[in-house]
Amino acid sequence: MTEDLARKKCKPCEGGVAPLKPQEIDHLLKQIDGWEYANGVIAKTYSFKNYYQTMAFVNAIAWISHREDHHPDVSVGYNKCRVEYSTHAIGGLSENDFICAAKIDALFSL
């Protein structure tokens, strides 16, 4: 199912759209492995062997974010990276958050 989300393209979101409802979030969350929902965001922490691999991943996230025009909050450490998504324009989650999460998971599995 992650593949289905990863193949989608984010839709522009300028606000004025309702955030996803809890049952929609639950349904989409089941399609992205290892992501957690709390406090209005979905998040996942990725681990790496070293700083170089961590930074390469962060740069790849930046590339995906630019292409999708949907940007996460990213926290970086020596050998880990935490990625958090929410759609700020609507004050909650949108399908875009799950699409980008699936794309990042696909990238991590390369």
Per residue in 20-70, pLDDT tens? 999 999 999 999 999 999 999 999 999 999 999 999 999 999 999 999 999
The answer as to whether 14 is a domain residue is no
pLDDT-derived band of residue 16, with 50, 70 and 90 as boundaries?
Answer: confident
Mean pLDDT along residues 67-94? 95
What distance in Å separates the CA atoms of residue 54 and residue 32, rounded to the nearest whole number? 21
Cα separations in angstroms, 94 against 27, 31, 53, 102: 12, 14, 29, 13
Residue 38 lies in a domain: yes
pLDDT(2) > 60:
no
Provide the mean pLDDT of the chain.
Answer: 93
Query: For residue 91, is it within any domain?
Result: yes
pLDDT of residue 3: 65
Domain residue limits at 80: 2-7+19-108
Three-state SS for 56?
helix
pLDDT band at 108 (very low <50, low <70, confident <90, very high): confident
Domain membership flag for residue 40: yes
The type of residue at 93 is L
